[in-house]
Structure 1
């Protein structure tokens, strides 16, 4: 009867699935080793605790990938034990598991730039890129251990799989064989469904990325509990834009103030030049770290430091997104990205009020510059939505001799083109998105040895970009439009980190904000230590150019005497984060998972169940109200 019960096949199937668990845990160890400067684990015991909780997420991923394999292994086909059938199962098993397993290895590198596990949002990032093969090849060359370890582990996995083989057996009694098989399939189906959901309770929703935070002390450790296969599959086809109702509209009008009005009077409207500097984290610039008391600190932006001394700067400023396109929507349109990026959502193609539309309304000539192939990063498409009158990319630059071979025209020549090509009509508003301070961290061959290598790969190319900006100013100062121009500098997002201060979770969003003008009339000088963010740039500029109509903005002017409330907001890809008053709140769209002192940037001391006071309760309500207003305006297309 053993043949009819198929005990051998069931035990070997269990062994094969068990192997997947083993190798997922190995990839978790390697992921942590690659990123342990970003994800702090206090002890071996702490690591094993995180790895143990990761089993639930591994289970979901493994069952997603192996559902067909399990079904074909258990179907009562009589031929199941034959060599050719087992060969089919072998190839199905390793093709599907190999692809899924490789996702985790890609995150060894990608996590350092995205600050979150791989999700389906990657489709939005790469859909406009034509150089994926080249950049992937360079990543492999720069990190050979990643691909070597993948090949070695897959070889070991295949070896262990083949160590135990199904012996060919033919069932003698078909009726018991079929009955036992059907019972086994039914029981397995229940187990697989429960495993994929993460729970057998009907009332509990399937686990998702947010649930990883239930098991951690520090929210960043949630990425240790997760695996990349889980986060990718769980976010496929998701849309986290959902209308909610927590408060009434009067509360939103009073506390969120989604519309701002400024009364500055301007006779001669200034030009605007916005620099969105690729991967420009606050860590790299000495001007933003004078009071941070960072041991052995070194600045890698000497020109920007000198410019900051003549500017209005914000040393406690944050990005509102995690990727380049998030930076564009935050800086120009005041729209941050939450768990799902607005720019990758079904709602991005709508009328949007922005600094572009405001300037168009005032008769400005508006333009956007990015030295990559036109359409790269989705900038051209989103720029068209915002209403830029002109777009200048690699096509318009029209000289491939200055192409870096991967991403874009090198910053130095492209910024020279930018300086000479703008200002033909005044007033003008223009934005340039630089490109060179980015993986694979290259600089032009002629400048090899000119800049210090620093402690991380990012330090050399950020110096090259700083040098390119200096050369830009040398040219711009000769232009007739220079004196009456306001310049803004910020980063789209952060990149590699070196110092422990910037390894703190909230400082993964630490970008600088600089306002500079050679015209003293605008009074853009000094150091303002109030907390600021990218979405404040748009209303600040609208104020400075004297736009006296209401603007839709969750940010506020940083230079206005008219006081609007400040609500700092961003998302780590799974949880929304708010800084309101003296506290920092983490909110998953339904519940608060953490409340911290706003100085606790690493989320070390969760106060949620230990401290209750009126300010915290009001802060929670304001966070919910902001989230409600954001969802309402995005979904119901009220961003104009």
Structure 2
């Protein structure tokens, strides 16, 4: 795909927050139209930022685990039944937002407050070509270690802002948060500060939201801030409180948000058509003015080009949202076809209707699956 964009000078800095377990279900701004009675939000800062951002309110993760989120968001490679990142095929040349940024002369860095090498991020980050990695080792202050996963989000986000302030623009940096994770604790000094809900995760989600607010307080005083595009997205979903989010497709429902203090990027409004983590990379390549071809199964969410959505993920069976229908495909046969609003898979239309649209949807799903397998196995991801 090619997205042509003129006059993107100076190039924007790009900052991506991949927020651990930050399901769509926890955020008010993303649930205005879900008709959940007495909905409660646990993300006041995120909700306020959303009012000044371009948000996708009908967005889905392309995988189930943190490392799947990393490959989907940064490289536009989803996880099917078998995880790409743990397969022998992951170690190949991969075009991604990292390679695009490197190609354009950006400084590229990845931040994750966990012990270096944990969760496979460092290894996959090397494959993607990040020039710098900042983990618990580089942070170098175990007083801020949560005892299990990594450095608490609030101090690590401050370190993130300060480290970015030492870099020459343009830079592209990714922060993978750690605190909203089992066993769902917050620092002792914040006992009682964040709203506790019916789920254990609600309190640490409030803490990470607060850490984000503190990050922006620090960052907006810095010279690079004004010309930066910020992206926020969950890696995957987690605990569920509302029956609406128990539905099979909603188990992948995540928030996606693009924000920039610079009005020239025009990142405002709401996208209500189905979107996915895989759309983030082409959107950023477009906004950065890459102007060369990219390999992408997602689409730019800010392009004038009309592109149809093809959303894909897997809960053991591959799930596709194409047009007005959801298709379940086991690699050989379709096992279910459902209307787009039947997120709980209650009324299987397989064999009951066979319109041209359904036939075309089946063809597209099979063609996509074939293309994915071909590119992954024959090392054509660059």
Answer whether TM exceeds 0.5 for this pair. Answer: yes
Superposition deviation, residue 324 in structure 1: 0.1
**Partner in structure 1 of residue 114 of structure 2:** 372
2:306 matched residue in structure 1: 563
Alpha-carbon separation, structure 2, partners of 1:267 and 1:473: 24
Give the corresponding residue for 1:293: 35
> What is the CA–CA distance in structure 1 between the aligned matches of 2:299 and 2:77, rounded to whole Å?
12
Q: Which residue matches 1:426?
A: 169
Find the aligned partners of 2:56 and 2:108 in 1 and give their Cα distance.
Answer: 26
In 2, Cα distance between equivalents of 1:609 and 1:442: 49
1:466 aligns with 2:204: no
**What is the correspondence of 1:305-316 to structure 2 with a 5 Å cutoff?**
305-316=47-58
Matched, 1:526 2:272: no
Q: Which whole-Å CA distance do the structure 2 matches of 1:561 and 1:269 have between them? A: 20
* Structure 1 moving runs of 4+ over 3 Å: none
| Aligned partner of 1:390 among 105, 126, 132 | 132
Residue number in structure 2 paired with 1:338: 80
Residue 317 in structure 1 maps to residue 27 in structure 2: no
| 1:323 Cα offset (Å) | 0.0
2:332 alignment partner in structure 1: 590
1:361 alignment counterpart: 103
Distance 1:468 1:267 in 2: 31
How far apart, CA to CA, are the structure 2 residues paired with 1:305 and 1:605?
Answer: 34
Instruction: State how far apart, in whole Å, the 2-side matches of 1:449 and 1:564 are.
Output: 47
Is the CA contact 2:308–2:323 (under 8 Å) kept in the aligned structure 1?
no
Aligned to 1:166: none
Q: Secondary structure at the match of 1:294?
A: coil
Deviation at 1:465, TM superposition (A): 0.3
Partners of 1:267 and 1:398 in 2: CA distance: 36
Distance 1:274 1:598 in 2: 29
2:271 and 2:326 map into 1 onto residues whose CA distance is 20
For 1:503 and 1:632, locate their aligned partners in 2 and report how far apart those are by CA, in whole Å: 33
**Deviation string, structure 1 residues 319-375 (Cα, Å, up to 9, x no partner):** 000000000000000000000000000100000000000000000000000000001
Q: 1:565, CA displacement in angstroms? A: 2.7
* Cα shift readout 1:196-216 (whole Å, capped 9, x = no counterpart): xxxxxxxxxxxxxxxxxxxxx
Counterpart Cα distance in 1 of 2:368 and 2:218: 43
1:276 to 18, 23, 31: 18
Superposed counterparts of 1:200-349, under 5 Å? 260-265=1-6, 266-349=8-91
Q: Is the 8 A contact 2:237 2:251 kept in 1?
A: yes
In the aligned structure 2, how far is the partner of 1:385 from the partner of 1:609?
A: 44
Please list, as runs of the form range in 1=range in 2, the aligned pairs for 1:80-159 lying within 5 A after superposition. none
Partner of 1:639: 381
How far apart are the structure 2 equivalents of 1:628 and 1:578?
14
After superposition, the C-alpha distances for 1:280-336 in whole angstroms (9 at most, x for unaligned) are: 100000000011110111000000000000000011000000000000000000000
For the residues of structure 2 that align with 1:594 and 1:410, how far apart are their CA atoms? 43
Higher relative contact order (CA 8 A, sep 6+): 2
2:238 counterpart of 1:495: yes
Q: Point out where structure 1 has 5 or more consecutive residues left out of the alignment.
A: 1-259
**Using the alignment, how far apart are the partners of 1:358 and 1:563 within structure 2?**
23
- The secondary structure found in structure 1 opposite 2:88 is coil
Q: CA deviation at 1:611?
A: 1.3
SS of 1:483's equivalent in the other structure is: helix
Q: Deviations over 1:565-615 (max 9, x none)?
A: 31000000x200000000000000000000000110011100002111110
* Bigger helix fraction: 1
Distance 1:623 1:528 in 2: 23
User: C-alpha separation between the residues in 2 aligned to 1:528 and 1:453?
Assistant: 30
Q: Post-superposition shift, 1:564?
A: 2.5
Q: Given the alignment, which residue of 498, 504, 507 partners 2:250?
A: 507
Distance 1:327 1:463 in 2: 21
Residues 1:455 and 2:201 aligned together: no
Deviation string 1:58-93 (CA, Å, 9 cap, x unpaired) is xxxxxxxxxxxxxxxxxxxxxxxxxxxxxxxxxxxx
Aligned match of 1:627: 369
TM-score (norm: length of structure 2):
0.99
Structure 2 residue runs without a partner (length 5+): none
Q: Larger strand proportion, structure 1 or 2?
A: 2
RMSD of equivalent CA atoms:
0.6
1:601-639 deviations in Å (ceiling 9; x for gaps): 011100002111110011001000000000000000000
Count of paired positions: 380
Residue in 2 that maps onto 1:442: 185
